[in-house]
Amino acid sequence: MKAVSRRSFLAASAVAAASPARGATKPAPPPLVDVAIIGAGAAGIAAARAFVAAKRSYALLEANDHMGGRCVTDTQTFGVAYDRGAHWIHMPEINPVAKLAAKGGVDIYPAPPGQRVRIGQRNAREGEMEDFFAALVRSTHAIGEAARGRNDVACAQVLPADLGDWRPEIEFMLGPFGCAKALADISAMDFAKSAERDRDAFCRQGFGTLLAKLAEGLNVQLATPVRRIEISRRGIEVQTRKGSLRARTVIVTVSTGVLAAGAITFDPELPRRHSEAITRLPLGNYEHIALELPGNPLGLQTDDLVFEKATSQKTAALLANLSGTSLCFVDVAGPFGASLAKAGADDMVAFAREWLTSLFGAEAPRRLKRTAATNWAHDPFARGSFSAALPGGQWARKALEEPVRERLFFAGEAVHETLWGTVGGAWESGTRAAQAAIKHLRQE
């Protein structure tokens, strides 16, 4: 009899353990779908709807315990609609989400035009507002002219030198308020390419409520974060915390912040062009400090937008009496917003109190009731608010539109060249990615 060594015995034992016992049933392979859609925000919802319309199978996987991504409405905290993320519906006459609002049974109404500017505890006078708007127009024009050049420079580099004491406010409005970043970190080409957003609307029931209504009927797997995506000749395997599934194509709609953090691994690794594009589109910081101020102590109209003539980066924007309620937003953004959010909700509310006191006097903040503050930068499934390309990085949006191995597609607000930073842009991107994936499936 041949002697059995310890090594051969262990090897034989391993083979036996890996082989099914006689009569045992082999485990069923993971289910196969036409597309796995990663992320159930605006882009993911739009992509899923397109696959339903095409009568194709899909799996919609969402890491969070709710749909909507960075567009979600909370009705519990204040008893009224409180948009924790996106709130402004830009360009409602062409916005694909706004166009679908009638079917969602919600009320979309136009935002009031213009804004107020406070200088100390008074409104800016007519002549002062003319100076402000002239400085704003000259600044946007200078960025647009710079974008015509061969080199993609930072917006901050090309601002007019003679903005005087309006400079801090211009920098806040064009940078943190408009793009969630300081102008030094924003590509002039990206800024110039963004579509005009000079007409806006609001949803009385909340923007997130509208998005949720558009997702009704979709089959979504919540609390199912994707860990790994493997692409081979046999197809695609998507590994989640709850198991695996197989797909013919995959659409990834998670934020560039999540992708850059390596929360999802790809096998094989993404092409260098795509991985570099992700790093060129980091998310900025934009947070709501929500304040309940019953009785309208600020004396403002419904949805009044108020800025101050800032003297430093420590400034904010006020959106008062949201949709006729007693809820107000003090919005902080950019580097200052990020540092304030890192300090925590108590510090954010303390800043809002101080800031309102400096503009409206001490009486108004005394009527403050319930408060809340967002912190998107530290949300593990967002890792920021919305994207703005770094200087030299505008090319990255187009790069992310390109499919990987004809089976992997990216979508989301960061994958739209003109509507980046908007729910409408994310929706269009998701629809576009779905159409490309369906076309590929038809050609197989």
pLDDT tens sequence across 299-316: 999 999 999 999 999 999
User: Is the domain of 187 the same as that of 297?
Assistant: yes
CA-CA-CA-CA torsion sign (425, 427, 432, 433): positive
pLDDT tens for 37-76 read 999 999 999 999 999 999 999 999 999 999 999 999 999 9
Instruction: Report pLDDT for 363.
Output: 87
State CA 190 to chain mean position distance: 16
Q: Are 101 and 205 in contact (CB under 8 A)?
A: no
Beta carbons within 10 angstroms of residue 330's beta carbon: 24
What percent of the chain clears pLDDT 70, i.e. is strictly above it? Answer: 93
User: In the predicted model, is pLDDT for residue 414 greater than 80?
Assistant: yes
* Exposure string over 36-45, b if 16+ CB within 10 A, otherwise e: bbbbbbbbbb
Sequence length of the chain is 444
383 is written with which tokens?
């890792």
Instruction: Report pLDDT for 365.
Output: 86
* β-bridge partners, 308: 118
Tell me if 103 is assigned to some domain.
no
Tell me if 141 is assigned to some domain.
yes
Residue 139's SS3 state is helix
User: Is the domain of 291 the same as that of 347?
Assistant: yes
Nearest to 246 by CA among 264, 233, 261: 233
User: In the predicted model, is pLDDT for residue 23 greater than 60?
Assistant: no
Nearest to 180 by CA among 436, 9, 422: 422
Average pLDDT of every residue of the chain: 92
User: Is the domain of 402 the same as that of 366?
Assistant: no
H-type alpha helices, 115-182: 126-146, 167-172, 178-179
Instruction: Report pLDDT for 3.
Output: 38
User: Is the domain of 176 the same as that of 156?
Assistant: yes
Query: Is residue 105 left, alpha or beta, with left meaning phi > 0 and alpha meaning psi from -120 to 50?
Result: left
Tell me if 229 is assigned to some domain.
yes
207 is written with which tokens?
């923007």
CATH number at residue 321: 3.90.660.10
Beta carbons within 10 angstroms of residue 312's beta carbon: 8
Instruction: Report pLDDT for 364.
Output: 84
389 is written with which tokens?
């390309």
pLDDT tens for 265-297 read 999 999 999 999 999 999 999 999 999 999 999
Environment class of residue 153 by beta-carbon count within 10 Å: exposed (0-12), middle (13-18) or buried (19+)? Answer: middle
Last residue of a domain, one of 326, 356, 378: 378
Instruction: Grade residue 27 by pLDDT with cuts at 50, 70 and 90.
Output: low
User: Is the domain of 394 the same as that of 266?
Assistant: yes
Query: Is residue 107 left, alpha or beta, with left meaning phi > 0 and alpha meaning psi from -120 to 50?
Result: beta
User: In the predicted model, is pLDDT for residue 20 greater than 90?
Assistant: no
User: In the predicted model, is pLDDT for residue 371 greater than 70?
Assistant: yes
User: In the predicted model, is pLDDT for residue 14 greater than 90?
Assistant: no
Higher pLDDT, 10 or 60: 60
Last residue of a domain, one of 363, 378, 393: 378
User: Is the domain of 293 the same as that of 370?
Assistant: yes
User: Is the domain of 176 the same as that of 289?
Assistant: yes
CATH number at residue 414: 3.50.50.60
User: Is the domain of 356 the same as that of 414?
Assistant: no
Across 402-427, average pLDDT: 97
pLDDT tens for 175-200 read 999 999 999 999 999 999 998 888 99
Residue 244's SS3 state is strand
User: Is the domain of 326 the same as that of 190?
Assistant: yes
Tell me if 374 is assigned to some domain.
yes
Give the residue numbers spanning the domain of 41. 32-68+215-283+383-443
Last residue of a domain, one of 378, 394, 426: 378
Domain count, the chain: 2
| Contacts of 319 by beta carbon, 8 Å cutoff, 6+ apart | 87, 303, 304, 305, 306, 328, 329, 331
* β-bridge partners, 90: 200
Longest dimension (CA), the chain: 106
User: Is the domain of 153 the same as that of 188?
Assistant: yes
- Distance between CA 184 and CA 186 in Å, rounded? 6
Q: Are 213 and 97 in contact (CB under 8 A)?
A: no
Could you write out the DSSP letters of every residue in 376-443?
GGG-TTTSSS-B-PPTT-THHHHHHHS-BTTTEEE-SGGG-SSSTTSHHHHHHHHHHHHHHHHHHHHH
Least confident of 21-35, 99-113, 250-264, 348-362: 21-35
- Distance between CA 118 and CA 122 in Å, rounded? 6
Instruction: Report pLDDT for 12.
Output: 32
Tell me if 167 is assigned to some domain.
yes
User: Is the domain of 316 the same as that of 395?
Assistant: no
- Distance between CA 309 and CA 307 in Å, rounded? 7
Tell me if 256 is assigned to some domain.
yes
Tell me if 323 is assigned to some domain.
yes
- Distance between CA 220 and CA 406 in Å, rounded? 25
* β-bridge partners, 109: 202
CA-CA-CA-CA torsion sign (123, 128, 130, 134): negative
User: Is the domain of 185 the same as that of 300?
Assistant: yes
Tell me if 51 is assigned to some domain.
yes
Q: Are 50 and 434 in contact (CB under 8 A)?
A: yes
Nearest to 388 by CA among 200, 149, 197, 176: 176
